Chains A and B, each alone.
Chain A
Amino acid sequence: MSHSSDRKTDDMKEIASRLVEMAGKSGAADADALAVNDVGENISVRNRKIESVEREESRGIGLRAFVKTSEGLAFASASSSDFSNDGMRKLVDQVIAMARISTADPDAMPPSGAEHPTTAELATWDDKHPVEIEWTLAAARQAALACEEAALDYSDKIENSEGAEAGFSRTHVAYASADNFRGKYQKSSLGLSLSVIAGTGDQMQRDYAYSRVQQVEKLKNPQMIGQEAAERAIRRVGARSISTRQTTVVFEPRMATSILGHLISAINGRSVLQKRSFLAESNGQALFPEFVQIEDNPDHPDGLGNRLFDGEGTRCRQRTIIDSGKLTGFLTDRYAAARLKSEPTGHARRGLTGDTGIGPSNLILHPGEMDVEAMLQEIGDGLLVTEMMGFGINGVTGDYSRGAAGFLIENGKVGQPVNEITVAGNLKKMFANISHLGSDLTWFGSTAVPTIAIADMTVAGQEG
């Protein structure tokens, strides 16, 4: 780990601490602050030539301050990119003035009093989670060129390229709260992606492949990414719509992440409080078949969502979200936990501005025993979905309807490519109707999922 890197997080910590102290002196009853420094570089190549180079450096500070009123605590938040003394003073004054306009909430949860990680845990976290500092723009360029080349050389069916992109970013974050908690960490992210086109005219089909990791040694081989993108685009050529039917829909891991995402939105403690979730009354219920196990793991070697503490300084812990098909509880920050009369689960999420939200760290849907081939054999006929479009999900009712593309499953084998179809159902029923989980656990950033098969969905298409 480099010293300059360390100094940056220390600088951020110093800034966040000062903001919290200034807020206290200016009349805030409680406060917390965040300081962030981001550096990123990105290069894109297309048709074996460099297309663009980008470099970004940005900083931000965010303050949340609470003031006392006769009806309880009221709060406000603001962010700025001005790190000067004057800028910080302005920010503090602005937030406190705004907090006095804000309506008090008798249940308001000030940042002080969270169960923080220990000093020893804080001290060792960065050493156990080293960030990547070696990847350079030159290495990124080489990876992007190699990746695209592998796709272009893969087959003459690859007619065009949308280009390959490689980039990395390093983030230094510090958090301070009025109960003297001071936390800081660094993060790095490297990515390499490619999108290519097979076919021509009305039968052009695009597909992509990518890898996003924290450290360069975990990055997928660029040639493999290139070949994957090429293969995926080529196999889609000749896609057509199909007749409307009720059938089993198999979501490959890339698409299965979204199903997990819908579950997480629905068990968000704040949505539950506001009756904005179709699972608001489902605590403890068997939502899934017994073989479904879902965990949130804030410290996983393959996850990009590792964190020691959450957006309000609460220590994060491994949690089983779905245990043998049953929902074990809702995900909460301290506010939602207090109102739901449960323990905070360490899922507070915070940006520079705004109240805390709720979100997972690393989500893992445990894989099944069967490889995908055997799974498709057992399913016989159905639809394999490899791409989805649109936002047709109603979080209050769970009604689900999205555009899709993929392949027919015929006699247990992947067959005819299809597109211009929709898949529809209701999420609650879809969860219960999961018939198979593949053994192909795959990581996508901070989510790991296998192939998921869901029985009895409606597929609509053009052939009446």
Chain B
Amino acid sequence: MERIAGISLPSSLTALDTRGGTDERLPPMKSSPQPNNLPVAEETLSQMLDKMVPTGADDADLYLEQSASESLALEEGRVKHVSASAHQGIGARVIRGEVSGHAYTDRLESPALMECARAARAIAESGARAQSVSIHPDRTDHQLYQPANPALTASMPERKALLEKLDRLARTLDPRVKQVFANVSTSFSSIHLIRMDGSHLHDARPLVRLNVSVVVEQNGKRETGSTGGGGRFDLTHLLKGDEAERLTREAVRLALLNLDAIPAPAGPMPVVLGPGWPGILLHEAIGHGLEGDFNRKGSSAFSGKIGQRIAAPGVTVVDDGSMPERRGSLNMDDEGTPTGCTTLIEDGILTTYMQDRQNARLMGVEPTGNGRRESYAHPVLPRMTNTFMLAGQDDPKEILSTLKHGLYAVNFGGGQVDITSGKFVFSTSEAYLIENGEIKAPVKGATLIGNGPDVLTKVSMIGNDLQLDPGVGTCGKDGQSVPVGVGQPTLKIDEMVVGGTDS
């Protein structure tokens, strides 16, 4: 709907936030992938390819997806929202040059599938290709996460007990806690990708997420605090360790802190960003602008800037979809390209755009494993995975001590960017006014606004404390949402506009 209306900005990152994020050691992968249980007969898929691939096609594929998700949510002390969903479907697409045809259906019977293949081919004027191909297995490069449904690792009653425990904990921590909302969700999607040449790739993707938010009240004044965490792992992570409790304490701390917050300042000033989730800066300021589609079309503020300085010396930013168990990670992207670590900015110089296959082909470069789709029923777009800045040399304490009068922002809500003008925003949820290197007071949430192509040239100090976010980011583009990660060390930016009310 949004996509048709075109009313959404090209991109946004809307998510809850949490400070830091422990990047604990990951367990070794043991099990091998599940057998490739294709829900549709190989012959049928082969017939679909025959029907849809015209002569001269540059690319074509079938994307078969089966997904299952579960969610338990607590409010007012009760786990009274229990829900599940199971969906499957197939997306067929054909690409020739700049033109593409797509068809999606959730009916996996043969007539519906043939109709789907016919519709995907609608863009082609030429006849069908002569040769038929047989479906044959291919392998993905990585095994970054367990190919199993995380819901199977803890029963619903166990998940319910976890939420109840967090509710009790939050209320025990402080009597001012009036409301607790907690939610644990799991999803698992099994993807079969059949490419034009008949090669068959499989990926099975688990995803887990826990959110906690509280409302506190003091003398009739209310505030809220939210945290979350997750990744492509199973539920034992949340049930066995103390991560869930840590997130709950954090939500309470944030809410209480904001009770004492003073109005945020308004106007330009130096800003120090904390490590981890504040890396949303990179996602908005440069990430979207470096996606291949906008640059092929010349609509990005970064178009034509490869090889140019867009950040201060010392700034190196990568997009890495191949990190074990990370929320933004994938064994292969949604076109079967293996994910990897792509250096976007090296020592301040723009080096690479993020590409899917179509845009890479049209720009004459290699795909980078960034072709992603929300589901079988969405087209592939170049998207980010885990985007972060590498650590520098500076001691975070020293960075803060250099701030004479400015803002120290350690937690954020969402952000958004206008790809073409390069202007971007992100909004604080935990920030402090700093005077002479000392914290003066917490300030209310405020939006920070900047210009993508030059904000990183104003980076004057880079901390040695790289952190990745706790696994909460969901990125929106063209109406499609995909899970992503961000990260950065503590950073000092010499000037940004802070959008508070205190002018």
User: Which of A56, A205, A206 has a CB less than 8 Å from the CB of B377?
Assistant: A56
**Bound form: Cα–Cα A167–B102 in Å:** 14
Any A CB within 8 A of the CB of B418? yes
Q: Are B413 and A244 in contact (CB under 8 A)?
A: no
Q: Are A405 and B423 in contact (CB under 8 A)?
A: yes
User: Which of A241, A274, A461 has a CB less than 8 Å from the CB of B179?
Assistant: A274
Any B CB within 8 A of the CB of A24? no
Q: Are B83 and A77 in contact (CB under 8 A)?
A: yes
Any A CB within 8 A of the CB of B150? no
Within 8 A of B (CB), among A181-199: 189, 191, 193-195, 197
Within 8 A of A (CB), among B43-92: 75-76, 78-89
Q: Are A352 and B498 in contact (CB under 8 A)?
A: no
Q: Which residues of B contact A95 (CB under 8 A)?
A: 84
Instruction: State which of B244-252, B313-321, B364-372, B447-455 sits at the interface with chain A.
Output: B447-455
Q: Is the interface of A mostly helix, strand, loop or mixed?
A: strand
Q: Are B500 and A103 in contact (CB under 8 A)?
A: no
Q: Which residues of B contact A82 (CB under 8 A)?
A: 86, 88
Within 8 A of B (CB), among A53-112: 53-60, 74-82, 94-95, 98-99, 101-105, 108
Nearest 7 interchain pairs by C-beta: A422-B499, A193-B6, A403-B425, A191-B4, A390-B425, A392-B427, A206-B420
**Interface size grouping (class) on chain B:** 35 or more
Q: Can you identify 27 A-B contacts, CB atoms within 8 angstroms?
A: A49-B98, A51-B98, A52-B101, A52-B123, A54-B101, A74-B80, A79-B87, A80-B86, A98-B84, A101-B82, A167-B4, A191-B1, A191-B5, A206-B421, A244-B267, A245-B503, A274-B75, A355-B80, A389-B423, A394-B444, A403-B416, A405-B423, A419-B421, A422-B266, A422-B497, A424-B500, A460-B266
B271 to chain A, nearest CB (A): 13
B residues adjacent to A (C-beta < 8 A): 1, 3-7, 9, 12, 14, 75-76, 78-89, 98-107, 112, 119-120, 122-123, 156-157, 160, 178-179, 181, 215, 217, 222-224, 264, 266-268, 297-299, 301, 377, 379, 413-427, 444-447, 449-451, 453, 495, 497-503
Q: Are A212 and B102 in contact (CB under 8 A)?
A: no
**Bound form: Cα–Cα A246–B104 in Å:** 51
Q: Are A54 and B379 in contact (CB under 8 A)?
A: yes
Q: Which residues of A contact B78 (CB under 8 A)?
A: 103-105
A186 to chain B, nearest CB (A): 16
User: Which of B76, B83, B297, B423 has a CB less than 8 Å from the CB of A76?
Assistant: B83
Q: Are B497 and A389 in contact (CB under 8 A)?
A: no
**Beta-carbon nearest neighbor of A460 in chain B:** B266
Q: Which residues of B contact A276 (CB under 8 A)?
A: 179, 215, 224
Within 8 A of B (CB), among A241-283: 241, 244-246, 274-276, 278
State whether A103 and B85 are in contact (beta carbons under 8 Å apart), knowing that A53-B101, A54-B103, A394-B224 are contacts in the complex.
Answer: no
Q: Write out, one digit per residue, whether chain A residues 125-167 have a CB within 8 A of any chain B CB (1) or not (0).
A: 0000000000001000000000000000000000010100111
State whether A461 and B83 are in contact (beta carbons under 8 Å apart), knowing that A244-B267, A276-B224 are contacts in the complex.
Answer: no
**Beta-carbon nearest neighbor of A50 in chain B:** B99
Within 8 A of B (CB), among A410-464: 419-426, 444-445, 458-462, 464
Q: Are A424 and B447 in contact (CB under 8 A)?
A: yes
Q: Are B299 and A464 in contact (CB under 8 A)?
A: no
Q: Are B268 and A462 in contact (CB under 8 A)?
A: yes
Q: Are A210 and B5 in contact (CB under 8 A)?
A: yes
**Bound form: Cα–Cα A94–B14 in Å:** 31
**Bound form: Cα–Cα A42–B82 in Å:** 35
User: Which of B103, B427, B503 has a CB less than 8 Å from the CB of A56?
Assistant: B103
Given contacts A193-B4, A206-B420, A403-B416, 4 further A-B contacts (CB under 8 A): A390-B416, A391-B12, A421-B449, A422-B447
**Bound form: Cα–Cα A312–B1 in Å:** 23
**Bound form: Cα–Cα A240–B417 in Å:** 16
Q: Are A420 and B450 in contact (CB under 8 A)?
A: yes
Q: Are B85 and A353 in contact (CB under 8 A)?
A: yes
B319 to chain A, nearest CB (A): 23
**Bound form: Cα–Cα A197–B419 in Å:** 11
Any B CB within 8 A of the CB of A381? no
User: Which of A75, A81, A197, A458 has a CB less than 8 Å from the CB of B420?
Assistant: A197
B377 to chain A, nearest CB (A): 6
Any B CB within 8 A of the CB of A345? no
Q: Are A401 and B447 in contact (CB under 8 A)?
A: yes
**Most chain-B CB neighbours within 10 Å: which of A105, A202, A420?**
A420
User: Which of A77, A165, A206, A399 has a CB less than 8 Å from the CB of B445?
Assistant: A399
**Bound form: Cα–Cα A425–B501 in Å:** 6
B93 to chain A, nearest CB (A): 9
Q: Are A275 and B217 in contact (CB under 8 A)?
A: yes
**Beta-carbon nearest neighbor of A59 in chain B:** B106
**Most chain-B CB neighbours within 10 Å: which of A57, A392, A396?**
A392
**Bound form: Cα–Cα A51–B446 in Å:** 40
Any B CB within 8 A of the CB of A402? yes
Q: Write out, one digit per residue, whether chain A residues 164-185 have a CB within 8 A of any chain B CB (1) or not (0).
A: 0111010000000000000000
Any B CB within 8 A of the CB of A330? no
State whether A422 and B86 are in contact (beta carbons under 8 Å apart), knowing that A189-B4, A276-B179, A392-B427 are contacts in the complex.
Answer: no
**Bound form: Cα–Cα A240–B377 in Å:** 40
Q: Are A460 and B83 in contact (CB under 8 A)?
A: no
**Beta-carbon nearest neighbor of A191 in chain B:** B4
A143 to chain B, nearest CB (A): 12
Q: Which residues of A contact B502 (CB under 8 A)?
A: 458
Q: Which residues of A contact B76 (CB under 8 A)?
A: 274
User: Which of B12, B88, B447, B495 has a CB less than 8 Å from the CB of A392?
Assistant: B447
Q: Are A460 and B498 in contact (CB under 8 A)?
A: yes
Q: Which residues of B contact A202 (CB under 8 A)?
A: 301, 422, 453
Q: Which residues of B contact A424 (CB under 8 A)?
A: 264, 266, 446-447, 499-501
**Most chain-A CB neighbours within 10 Å: which of B224, B427, B449?**
B449
**Beta-carbon nearest neighbor of A194 in chain B:** B6
**Bound form: Cα–Cα A179–B495 in Å:** 63
Q: Which residues of A contact B451 (CB under 8 A)?
A: 420
State whether A464 and B83 are in contact (beta carbons under 8 Å apart), knowing that A422-B499, A425-B501 are contacts in the complex.
Answer: no
User: Which of A239, A402, A425 has a CB less than 8 Å from the CB of B425?
Assistant: A402
**Beta-carbon nearest neighbor of A229 in chain B:** B6
**Bound form: Cα–Cα A351–B375 in Å:** 18
Q: Are A58 and B503 in contact (CB under 8 A)?
A: no
